Amino acid sequence: MSLTLVKQRTDQQTASPRRVDGVAKIRGTALYVDDLPCADVLHGATVRTTAAGGTLQEVVFDPAIDWSEFVVVTARDIPGMNAVKLLENDQVVLVDRAFRHAGEAVVLLAHADPEKLGMALKGVSLVELPNTAPIFDIDAALAAQQEIIPGNIYTDYLLDRGDVAEGEHLADVVIEERFLTPSQEQLYIEPQGMLAHLQKDGSILVEGSMQCPYYVLDALVQCMGMDKDHLRVVQSTTGGAFGGKEDYPSVIACHAALLALKAGGRSVKLVYERGEDLRVTPKRHPSRTLISLGANKAGELQFIDMDFAIDGGAYRTLSPVVLSRGVIHAPGPYKCPHIRVRGRAVATNHPPFGAFRGFGAPQSIFAMEVAMDRLARKLAMDPAELRRINLLRTGDVNPTGDVVGADCFAHATLDVALEHTHYYQRLAEYRAWNAAGHQTRKGIGLATFAHGAGFTGNGELHLASRVSLQALANGHVEILCSNTEMGQGAATTLVQIAADALGLPMDRVHLAQADTSRVPNSGPTVASRTCMVVGELIQKAAGQLLQRLRETAELAAPHDAQSFAAACARLCAVAGDTLVTAQYQPPTDMRWDEQAFLGRAYASYAWAAYIAEVEVDVLTLETRVLDFTAVQEIGDAVHPVIVQGQIEGGVAQGIGYALYEDVLWNERGVMANDRLTNYIIPTSADLGFMHVVLLEGGLGAGPKGAKGVGELPMDGPAPAIVNAIQQALDIDICQIPVKPEMLLELTMSRGN
């Protein structure tokens, strides 16, 4: 693909309107859950299991404490089903008897005085019969006699295309490797929390920090045994999520609602302190990948064989979905006739792992991209060249057996990235630098990858998302959808898309608060689906609204804001229906076999090539990222500044994943480094400028050809950085984070 066919963004700021939530956030007036005005509130707290699974024998309340002052909730108080509504009802809302990990909620307490609450928390002791042989490791779980669930496997997937034995036969060069990735904490700066109120009519309102209001509503329906009409979920301003507020808010919401039900009409606030948030909420799945790649002498991939396993933790939660995405993305954006990826999500006694930006793909892409560099070295070939030989082009068959259409920019992203970084020149400079015996070694590494936007396969069909637009008499339009702003810019982007489609200035369009009593279910805010899928629905609804205004309220074409307002007023005056709703219709060419992992997995893939330049201190083996270049093809940049911020922020998390972030576990399977001073994310002193280059092919499934942006920045940095460090130090790295301690071991064992 020639570069000239892809548009490169240069007008970032001018094409970007002001963020709709910007002013409130800058002035500090945006209200997060802990800021919501609430008189006479009770504070909630949670008593948790301490053993890594076992049986709860007894709950002992200290007789020295006057418990009548407290609201106390146990499993017996649950009016509905004692199960957190997710893929499977295997996780209890409150432990009654059996439990699988340390940190499961047993007793909920509430009191007006947080100090008294803190003391009371210590006045509840649990008599536990602990599980004697807890499992904390993926391979140990697969080999263990002890079973948490049958075989300790939640899900076992197989992507099997072609014949790997045949590929092995054809390969001249083969590499084998075993890669490990750790858990990673989302570390949204706003800890999780909910505020619940029992209303006078017996209904319950829950407000809080969340990505998916309808997930929370469904969980409440099941746990509270109430129908939807008596439950209302409202999202408050959400201070970061990154996947971390996809499933767990349902648990906190159920807890807060249970307390509110017994609190005699007083509101109950359940906001986690940082330590509790770190210890109990879901994080990225740790992974273990065995990989074997083979190529012929020309460097053409002959087979990819992977055994990819993730630690799902003690309950199933979202692990099957995370695993599915990990499996589909494992073979990368390469053409290869023989591919086998076995994926397993295993059960351990860790707290359940969950969604985090990238959702299984960063783990398997890490293995694949570092393995590609190994293969290049064995072939004595430049890693960029090896990728150029194998990257998909239009007309090729992709790893899931789908013929690649025109919307393929793998080569374009690589070419731009190489040119932008002066890759070959840098490579030579760094080689010379390293040979000169300086105090540091430098390297340049790359990763090429693609990421599917939206739900996998038929997922969007099952969601059947709906979006409404409400025309108001004053000519303003409200967007009604359940998708949430959590920092990623959805509020601005969706308003922009609607305003654009309606031919109105942005200040005439408003995104309604995500309140389940008002907004239809437009699906969860996950998987980079919001702009592409929901944005497309908004565009459709806008078309419907314009048509109605033209047909029933004499809206002239073309219109301006004034004539639009006049038409809205006319429609309202005749009591016409001012609400339009659009529902998702699946594209006709989407065929996906979710058993065999064959067909078209995603409506669109976004494409990327990331290049990291690093410097390692020879003395201390500390690594610094000198420069980072992210070239990403995203269809259309609806709001270039937001897109740039998404990519830079994701890359920063990726740099953290590569170099610093490591969830350490104590002997009970609880996060040991449960403070911000010990769980290390990069500060501004650790991060310089990044270079973001946006390519816009205009062929995505969203408005104007837009596609999902937000996951890719998490996929690429770790392999690019590891490849750069390997080159700088001439060593093999099989694991992240690449801490100096690990590099010391590797360099010492090489006798250097």
Partner 1 sequence: MSTTMRINGKAFQSSSAPNARLLDVLRNECDLKGTKEGCGEGECGACAVLVNGRLVNSCLVPLGQMERAEITTVEGLPEDSALAQAFVQCGATQCGICTPGMMLAATALLAEYANPTLEEIRWGLSGNLCRCTGYGRIYAAIAQVAGGFADV
Partner 2 sequence: MSDWIRPRHLPEALEILATAPGPYRVISGGTDLMVECHLAPERRPESWLDISGLRELQGLQITEEGIRIGAATSLEAIRRHAEVVAHWPMLAASAAVTGAPPIQNRATLGGNVCNASPAADNAPTLLAYGARLEIVHHHGSRWLPYGDFHLGYRKTALQPGELLSALWIPYPPKHSRGYFRKVGTRAAQAIAKVSIAALIEVNSDGIIQSAHFGMASVAATPCALPSVSQYLLGRALCDIADMQVRQKVKQDIAPIQDIRSTTAYRLEIASRLVLEAIHKRSESKKEN
Cβ 683 to partner 2 shortest distance, Å: 5
Instruction: Sketch the per residue contact string, 219 through 258, with partner 1: x for CB under 8 A, - otherwise.
Output: ------------------xxxxxx----------------
The H or E element containing residue 48 is strand 42-48
The span from the CA of 309 to the CA of 346, in Å, is: 7
- Identify what 438 binds: partner 2, partner 1, none; CB under 5 to 8 Å per kind: partner 2
Per-residue contact string for residues 401-420; x = within reach of partner 1 by CB under 8 A: --------------------
CA distance 251 to 236: 17
64 binds, among partner 2, partner 1, none (CB under 5 to 8 A by kind): none
Q: Residues 6 or more apart from 399 whose CB is under 8 A from it? A: 159, 161, 304, 328, 330, 331, 332, 334, 336, 339
Q: Among partner 2, partner 1, none, what binds residue 744 when CB lies within 5 to 8 Å by partner kind?
A: partner 2
Cα separation, 604 vs 589, whole angstroms: 12
664 binds, among partner 1, partner 2, none (CB under 5 to 8 A by kind): partner 2
Sole window of 119-127, 180-188, 406-414, 448-456 interacting with partner 1 (rule: CB under 8 A): 180-188
Query: What's the closest the beta carbon of residue 663 comes to partner 2, in angstroms?
Result: 11
Partner interacting with residue 696 (select from partner 1, partner 2, none; CB below 5-8 Å by kind): none
741 contact, one of partner 1, partner 2, none, CB 5-8 Å limit per kind: partner 2
DSSP letter for each residue of 338-398: EEEEEEEEEE-SSPPP---TTTTHHHHHHHHHHHHHHHHHHTT--HHHHHHHHB--TTSB-
**Residues from 683 through 702 that contact partner 1 (CB under 8 A):** 683-685, 687-690
Contacting residue, 282, 299, 332, 487, with partner 1 by CB under 8 A: 487
112 binds partner 1, rule: CB under 8 A: no
**Closer to partner 2 at the Cβ: 500 or 615?**
615
Bond before 703 cis per omega within 30 degrees: no
> Residue 116 or residue 262: which is nearer to partner 1 going by CB?
116
Closest approach of Cβ 15 to partner 1, in Å? 12
Partner whose footprint covers residue 326, from partner 2, partner 1, none (CB < 5 to 8 Å by kind):
none
* Closest separation in Å from C-beta 489 to partner 1: 7
Q: Return the one option of partner 1, partner 2, none that residue 641 interacts with (CB less than 5 to 8 A, by type).
A: partner 1
Minimum distance from residue 683 beta carbon to partner 1 (Å) = 5
Query: Measured on CA atoms in the order 598, 313, 217, 703, is the torsion positive or negative?
Result: negative
Backbone angles phi, psi at 439, to 5 degrees: -75, -10
> Residue 75, interface with partner 1 (CB under 8 A)?
no
Binding of partner 1 at residue 142 (CB under 8 A)?
no
Given partner 1, partner 2, none, residue 680, with its beta carbon under 5 to 8 Å by kind, binds partner 2
Edge-to-edge strands of the sheet including 173-181? 153-161, 338-347, 301-313, 287-295, 173-181
* Minimum separation from the CB atom of position 662 to partner 1 (A): 16
Q: Are strands 268-271 and 231-235 parallel, antiparallel or unpaired?
A: unpaired
User: How many whole angstroms separate alpha carbon 160 and alpha carbon 593?
Assistant: 12
474 near partner 1, rule: CB under 8 A: no
Nearer of residues 142 and 626 to partner 2, judged by Cβ: 626
Q: How far is the CB of 521 from partner 1 (least distance, A)?
A: 23
Residue 40 makes contact with partner 1 by CB under 8 A: no
Closest CB 745 distance from partner 2, rounded Å: 7
**Distance between CA 422 and CA 415 in Å, rounded?**
10
What is the DSSP code string of 696-718? E-S-SSSGGG----TTHHHHSHH
Q: Answer whether 607's CB lies under 8 Å from 696's CB.
A: no
Whole-number minimum distance, CB 237 to partner 2, in Å? Answer: 24
272 is a site residue for partner 1 (CB under 8 A): no
Q: Which is nearer to partner 2, 18 or 438 (CB)?
A: 438
**Nearest alpha carbon to residue 349 among 94, 91, 52, 667:** 52
301-313 and 338-347 as β-strands: parallel, antiparallel, unpaired? parallel
3-class secondary-structure state, position 527: coil
CB of 691 to partner 1, least distance (A): 10
Q: Are 184 and 284 in contact (CB under 8 A)?
A: yes
The most distant pair of C-alpha atoms in the chain lies apart, rounded to whole Å, by 86
94, 124, 187, 310: residue in contact with partner 1 (rule CB under 8 A): 187
Contact status: 365 vs partner 1 (CB under 8 A): no
Q: Rg of the chain's alpha carbons, rounded to an integer?
A: 26
Q: Which residues of this protein are in contact with partner 2, per CB under 8 A?
A: 115, 118-119, 122, 275, 438-440, 617, 619-620, 622, 660, 664, 672-673, 675, 677-678, 680, 682-686, 740-741, 744-745, 748
Fill in the DSSP letter of residue 334: B
Give the pair of three-digit tokens for residue 512: 């309604």
Q: Which is nearer to partner 1, 21 or 460 (CB)?
A: 21
Residue 130 binding result from partner 2, partner 1, none, given CB thresholds of 5 to 8 Å by partner type: none
CA distances from 490 to 510, 532, 699 (A): 12, 11, 21
194 or 293, CB closer to partner 1?
194
Q: How many residues bind partner 1 (CB under 8 A)?
A: 57
Which DSSP letter does residue 285 get? P
Shortest distance, position 186 Cβ to partner 1, whole Å: 8
Amino acid residing at 386? L
Q: Contact with partner 1 (CB under 8 A): which of 81, 221, 676, 731?
A: 676
Strand partners, 479: 469, 511
Neighbour tally for 558: CB within 10 Å: 7
Q: How far apart are CA 290 and CA 480, in angstroms?
A: 46
Query: Minimum Å distance from CB 502 to partner 2?
Result: 46
Residue 15 in the binding site for partner 1 (CB under 8 A): no
Enumerate the H helices of 583-639 as residue ranges.
Answer: none
Backbone φ and ψ of 81, nearest 5°: -90, 135
Cβ–Cβ < 8 Å for 467, 520 = yes
Residue position matching structure tokens 């404490």: 65
Sheet with 54-61, edge to edge strand ranges = 98-99, 54-61, 124-130
In three-state secondary structure terms, 668 is coil
- Token pair belonging to 428: 């030579």
**Could you tell which of partner 1, partner 2, none binds residue 14, using a CB distance below 5 to 8 A set by kind?**
none
Which of partner 1, partner 2, none does 750 bind, CB closer than 5 to 8 A by kind? Answer: none
Q: Does 24 bind partner 1 (CB under 8 A)?
A: yes
Task: Rule CB under 8 A: choose which of 439, 562, 677, 749 binds partner 1.
Answer: 677
Binding site for partner 1 (CB under 8 A): 13, 16, 18-19, 21-32, 34-35, 186-191, 237-242, 273-274, 486-489, 641-642, 644-645, 648-653, 675-677, 681, 683-685, 687-690
